Amino acid sequence: MKQWKVYAMLVFVMFVWGANLPILKYLVTIVPPITLTAYRVFVAGITVFLILWKMKLIRKPTKKEWSYILLGALTNVLVHHYFLNMGLSITSGTSAGLILGTGPMLTAISAAIILKYFPTKVQWLGLCIGLAGITVSVFIGSETHGTNIGDLYVFLAIFAQVLSYMVVSKAVRTLNPLLLTAYMLVIGSFGLILLSAIFEPGKVMEFTNAPPVFWLLFFCSAIIMTAIGHMMYNYAVGQAGATKAAIFMNLNPLFAMLLSALFLGEVLTIRHFLGLILIVIGVLLGSGAAEDIWAKRKKALS
């Protein structure tokens, strides 16, 4: 696939993931977070399998591929979705969006460390600036301890997702990224259903009292945001690599903030915009994009 198509795909994924935050923020007011995400992810996984069955791409993974699938299901689905939904139940969509904006920086640095290529001084500077952005936008001015706990949950969610991208990068060398997504979603959903039975027993009955708009948003989130979104992103990781794909994640907080303000009526303050600016700077430095631009400019002038 041409590079610009991969980039366009990534922009679309960032938009739907950004839109997913205010949607989830509403959904968890109807159904408890763990129960909600367990069945939402299950529907997403079944959707991907149906698409792949139609495309005749389903096959049995090898023993090594199963290890990648299980590790990916643990990090990208079970841990990520558990903490994301728990966090969204007690924090704002705007704060969550800003924290998710650290994904590119964390991905670049994690990839460098795991691949034994240690970050440069500029990348470490980007890490510090990005974390400063989180502090300014989230912790400064937070009035309750509960909000801070919710923000911590969202940070753990994005960190787990970043680790999963390292797994995806290796798995797609032999396993179709779409098939990988299907297995990860279904297996991860079983773990979430088990957690929901333990921590939220009987709450599955809350689905029976949900209004029609809930079901519309539920299937929209499950099919478009989760199923198609994860299929497209994992495919893009296989095409462009984890670090390049992650650079586009800086669009996620922008979309999340704007849509949360538009649909949830959340107020954007100066600290949100200042935090966003610091996070974007951190992304440019931490991902190595700034160094690449500087190197190309230097080469052009020489």
Share of the chain above pLDDT 70, in %: 79
Backbone φ and ψ for 56, nearest 5 degrees, come out as 60, 45
Residue in the structure block whose two tokens are 């299937």: 219
The yes-or-no verdict on residue 77 having pLDDT over 80 is yes
Q: Which pLDDT band holds residue 137 (cuts at 50, 70, 90)? A: low
The yes-or-no verdict on residue 250 having pLDDT over 60 is yes
The residue that leads in pLDDT, 300 or 288, is 300
**Structure confidence at residue 140 (pLDDT):** 55
The residue that leads in pLDDT, 210 or 236, is 210
Domain ranges within the chain, ordered by starting residue: 3-120+142-271
Backbone φ and ψ for 74, nearest 5 degrees, come out as -65, -50
Instruction: Select from 36, 296, 61 the least CA-distant residue to 189.
Output: 36
The yes-or-no verdict on residue 110 having pLDDT over 90 is no
Q: Mean pLDDT score of the chain, rounded to an integer?
A: 81
Lowest mean per-residue pLDDT among 107-121, 151-165, 268-282:
107-121
- For the CA atoms of 200, 204, 209, 210, the dihedral, rounded to the nearest 10 degrees, stands at 90
**Structure confidence at residue 167 (pLDDT):** 85
No. of helices (H) and no. of strands (E), the chain = 15, 0
Residue in the structure block whose two tokens are 């839109």: 19
Average pLDDT rounded to a whole number, residues 63-80: 92
Predicted confidence (pLDDT) per residue in 7-44, tens digit: 788 888 888 888 888 888 889 889 998 899 899 999 99
The yes-or-no verdict on residue 115 having pLDDT over 70 is no
End-to-end C-alpha distance for the chain, whole angstroms = 33
Q: Which pLDDT band holds residue 70 (cuts at 50, 70, 90)? A: very high
Q: Which pLDDT band holds residue 145 (cuts at 50, 70, 90)? A: very low
Average pLDDT rounded to a whole number, residues 47-72: 93
Which of 179-193, 224-238, 287-301 is modeled with the greatest confidence?
179-193
Q: Which residues contact 20 (CB under 8 A, 6 or more apart)?
A: 221, 225, 226, 229
Q: Which residues contact 150 (CB under 8 A, 6 or more apart)?
A: 86, 87, 88, 89, 90, 91, 95, 96
Average pLDDT rounded to a whole number, residues 110-116: 67
**Structure confidence at residue 144 (pLDDT):** 47
The yes-or-no verdict on residue 139 having pLDDT over 60 is no
**Structure confidence at residue 288 (pLDDT):** 62
Average pLDDT rounded to a whole number, residues 132-158: 68
**Structure confidence at residue 224 (pLDDT):** 93
Predicted confidence (pLDDT) per residue in 211-246, tens digit: 999 999 999 999 999 899 888 887 887 777 766 676
